[in-house]
């Protein structure tokens, strides 16, 4: 699998096969899945009528749905993975060999249909839209001199490709050949070293923990000196200090009380803010009691001042890195008890996406707002009905008053009859 897609390999993960009867099968590609044969075995080990084999050209996987359902036969990646995409089998099956047989063709060969009416720009667009191993572009050096440039998406030997333009009347020239970088590691002018290949000019882990970037060919040995560089860690610690202080300043502003004009911040007395302050203060002041010389941030030069803000003594940090780098690494990165692991637990408890203090408080406020909105809507509906009732009552009273007036007017016109 690692050699597919011009050496880019196949990203491991899960994908789901759904047959035409709606039955599903999840295929799991993990670290034990090494070859295309392993993938075929995983797919064929099913009870939903799915068959997998190499296609006739031998350049990909052919998957067949042998059931007689009426729904679509589909393969989709699961949980945001890309395994089916990299294998070329993600999609919807097409009908083959009768109405009860559908296939998904996972060929690694990219085939394009070029129409007689297509322009050079159309061809370039089709090549690039196919997301194949090549990209194409146009080079124009005059009104009648347009050339098409093909570039491999992969570097090194994996990026080599062959193009035959004779059948379509094109003159194709190679401007560059992909080659792996080859580095001899550990050799000298008298002894040969170990040859290490890389598809790019960067060689990873030829020396443990070291990345070598090859700049040019050399016939003489090149000495590589590996020394510690604390600048990145120092910058990240400074960033942590700065972000902590920003949170502290924001909390101070929003919880302040001005006695002179009797005003306060929006979050004064808020229990979640108090809990956040206490949790962060414990995090940066707590000792880990791990083995070694570094058991707290104070040993790295990070400490709380009397205003609750962090200060970073870079000179103290440089000294501890020079004398105890392994202890610093253990304190920061050790699983479960390291500062990074403890910080993640604290932050997740405060602002984690699932069950955390601030998220729960936000959900509570949201429910309260929704309940109040429902109450407002209910009261508005009741008021609208009451308004209609009062208006109707008013109209009826008006009608009654009008009838009374008319009756009174009629009574006034009645004259006494004498005998």
CA-closest candidate to residue 62, choices 98, 88, 27, 95: 88
Average confidence (pLDDT) over 27-51: 92
pLDDT of residue 207: 77
Q: Is 282 left (phi over 0), alpha (psi -120 to 50) or beta?
A: alpha
**What pLDDT does 65 receive?**
92
Confidence of residue 62 (pLDDT cuts 50, 70, 90): very high
Q: Which residue has the higher pLDDT, 224 or 50?
A: 50
CA gap 292, 155 in Å, rounded: 45
Return all residues near 294 (Cβ < 8 A) that are at least 6 apart: 300, 320, 324, 327, 328, 330, 331
Distance CA 37, CA 54 (A): 9
Non-local CB neighbours of 267 within 8 Å, separated by 6+ positions:
251, 254, 255, 273
Give the pLDDT of residue 38: 93
d(Cα 136, Cα 324) in Å, to the nearest integer?
53
CB 308 within 8 A of CB 283: no
Residue 419 has pLDDT above 60, yes or no: no
**Alpha-carbon span 320 to 120, nearest angstrom:** 63
Q: Is 205 left (phi over 0), alpha (psi -120 to 50) or beta?
A: left
Share of the chain above pLDDT 70, in %: 93
Helix axes 325-333, 339-351, angle to 10 degrees: 20
What stretch of H or E contains 37? helix 36-44
Q: pLDDT confidence of 98, banded at 50, 70, 90?
A: low
> Tell me, what's the pLDDT at 172?
76
Percent helix, strand, coil in the chain, to 5, is 40, 20, 40
Q: What is the pLDDT of residues 107-128, one digit of tens each?
A: 877 778 888 898 889 989 988 8
Spatial contact of 248 and 329, defined as CB atoms under 8 Å apart: no
Residue 324, pLDDT > 80, answer yes
Among 50-64, 157-171, 259-273, 345-359, the range with the most confident prediction by mean pLDDT is 50-64
Q: Who has greater pLDDT, 49 or 413?
A: 49
- pLDDT higher than 80, residue 348: yes
Mean predicted lDDT score pLDDT of the chain: 85
pLDDT tens profile 194-209: 888 887 888 887 777 7
The yes-or-no verdict on residue 417 having pLDDT over 60 is no
pLDDT at 418 over 60: no
Asked whether residue 140 carries a pLDDT value surpassing 70, the answer given is yes
* Most confident among 110-119, 163-172, 281-290, 389-398 (mean pLDDT): 389-398
Please tell me the predicted confidence (pLDDT) of residue 291. Answer: 65
Residue 8 scores a pLDDT above 80: no
Please give the pLDDT value at position 414: 65
Predicted confidence at residue 26, as pLDDT, reads: 93
What is the band of 255 on the pLDDT scale with cuts at 50, 70, 90?
Answer: confident
DSSP codes of every residue in 281-336: HHHHH-----SSS--SGGGGTEEE-TTS-EEE-HHHHHHHHHH-HHHHHHHHH-TT
Residue 49 has pLDDT above 80, yes or no: yes
pTM of the model: 0.45
Assign 393 a pLDDT band (cuts: 50, 70, 90). Answer: very high
pLDDT > 70? residue 224: yes
Mean pLDDT of 89-107: 80
What is the average per-residue pLDDT within 184-191? 70
Over residues 84-96, the pLDDT tens digits come to 998 989 999 888 7
Question: Are the CB atoms for 311 and 302 separated by under 8 Å?
Answer: yes
pLDDT at 388 exceeding the cut of 90: yes
């Amino acid at each position: 699998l690692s050699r597919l897609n011009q050496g880019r390999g196949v990203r491991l993960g899960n994908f789901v096969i759904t047959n035409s009867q709606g039955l599903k099968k999840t295929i799991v590609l993990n670290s034990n899945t090494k070859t295309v044969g392993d993938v075929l075995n995983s797919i064929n080990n099913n009870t939903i009528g799915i068959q997998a084999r190499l296609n006739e050209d031998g350049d990909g996987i052919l998957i067949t749905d042998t059931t007689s359902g009426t729904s679509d036969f589909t393969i989709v990646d699961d949980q945001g993975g890309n395994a089916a995409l990299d294998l070329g089998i993600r999609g919807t099956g097409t009908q083959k060999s009768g109405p009860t047989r559908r296939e998904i063709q996972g060929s690694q060969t990219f085939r394009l249909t070029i129409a007689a009416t297509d322009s050079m720009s159309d061809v370039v667009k089709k090549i690039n839209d196919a997301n194949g191993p090549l990209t194409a572009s146009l080079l124009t050096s005059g009104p009648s001199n347009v050339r098409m440039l093909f570039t491999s998406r992969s570097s090194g030997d994996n990026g080599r490709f062959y193009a035959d333009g004779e059948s379509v009347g094109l003159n194709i020239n190679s401007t560059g050949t992909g080659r792996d970088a080859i580095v001899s590691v550990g050799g000298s002018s008298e002894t040969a070293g170990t040859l290490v290949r890389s598809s790019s000019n960067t060689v990873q882990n030829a020396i443990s923990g070291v990345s070598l970037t090859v700049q040019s060919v050399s016939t003489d040995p090149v000495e590589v000196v590996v020394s510690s560089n604390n600048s990145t860690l120092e910058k990240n610690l400074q960033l942590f200090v700065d972000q902590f202080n920003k949170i502290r300043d924001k909390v101070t502003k929003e919880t302040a009380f001005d006695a002179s004009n009797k005003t306060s911040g929006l979050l004064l007395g808020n229990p979640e803010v108090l809990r956040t302050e206490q949790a962060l203060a414990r995090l940066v002041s707590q000792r880990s009691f791990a083995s070694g010389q570094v058991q707290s941030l104070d040993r790295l030069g990070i400490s709380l001042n009397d205003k609750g803000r962090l200060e970073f003594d870079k000179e103290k940090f440089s000294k501890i890195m020079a004398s105890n780098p392994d202890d610093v690494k253990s304190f920061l990165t050790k699983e479960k008890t390291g500062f990074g692991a403890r910080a993640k637990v604290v932050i997740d408890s405060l602002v984690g996406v699932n069950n955390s203090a601030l998220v729960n408080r936000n959900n509570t406020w949201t429910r309260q707002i929704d309940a109040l909105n429902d109450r407002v809507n209910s009261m508005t509906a009741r008021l609208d009905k009451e308004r209609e009732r009062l208006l109707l009552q008013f109209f009826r009273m008006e009608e009654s008053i009008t009838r009374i007036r008319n009756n009174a007017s009629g009574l006034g016109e009645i004259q006494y009859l004498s005998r």
